[in-house]
Amino acid sequence: MSESNTPSDSFIETPFAWLLLAIVLLFIPLAGYMLQAEMPWDAVHPAINAMLNGSSFVFLLAGRVAIKKANEHLHKQCMVAAFASSTLFLISYLTRYAISGTHHYPGHGWPKVVYLVILFSHMLLASLLVPMVLRSLYLGHKGRRSKHRKIARWTWPVWVYVSVTGVLVYLMLYQW
């Protein structure tokens, strides 16, 4: 194992620390600012969900770079951090959905068609993604590298697409 692959004893050098730091230093103050600006919770909550999706995307990219540089330890940390932020997103999204239901796109014409194509592809792939991610993480954890690589080749791009389109859906629905 190369020196870059050795586990670090420093918590601040882990992706979990960076996720926690982002939540404490960015998400919470931003949500507080939005609430102080008298934005209703049903406007703040989707923004938090978009930030969690964005975090997943960043961890996915970092994990990809780490494995390309043969840094398995950092790769594992990044992928688990991506899973954690995606899981927090899913819990938060389902909570918001249970409280306020669906939200309809306000536009018409081609922008609505584009929105619906992105939304439905996002929803379909997100539902397929859950077992793919769980299987990829399981195989990676068990050290079954060959099988892990086979499914990760499909899981990673789908996960990236779902994370990015989650942010796009938020922007199209609430900001544009």
Q: Do 7 and 73 touch, CB atoms closer than 8 A?
A: yes
**pLDDT in the model for residue 33:** 67
Sign of CA dihedral 60, 66, 67, 71: negative
pLDDT(4) > 70: no
* pLDDT tens profile 136-171: 999 999 999 999 999 999 999 999 999 999 999 999
And the tokens for 82? 């991506």
The arrangement of secondary structure in 3-175, i.e. its CATH architecture, is: Up-down Bundle (1.20)
Nearest to 156 by CA among 74, 56, 72: 56
Distance of CA 78 to the CA centre of its chain: 11
Residue-wise DSSP of 37-95: TT--HHHHHHHHHHHHHHHHHHHHHHHHHHHHTT-HHHHHHHHHHHHHHHHHHHHHHHH
pLDDT(102) > 90: no
pLDDT(1) > 50: no
Q: Do 57 and 159 touch, CB atoms closer than 8 A?
A: no
pLDDT confidence tier of residue 2, bands split at 50, 70 and 90:
very low
Average pLDDT, the chain: 86
And the tokens for 81? 């951090």
Mean of pLDDT values over 108-123 = 96
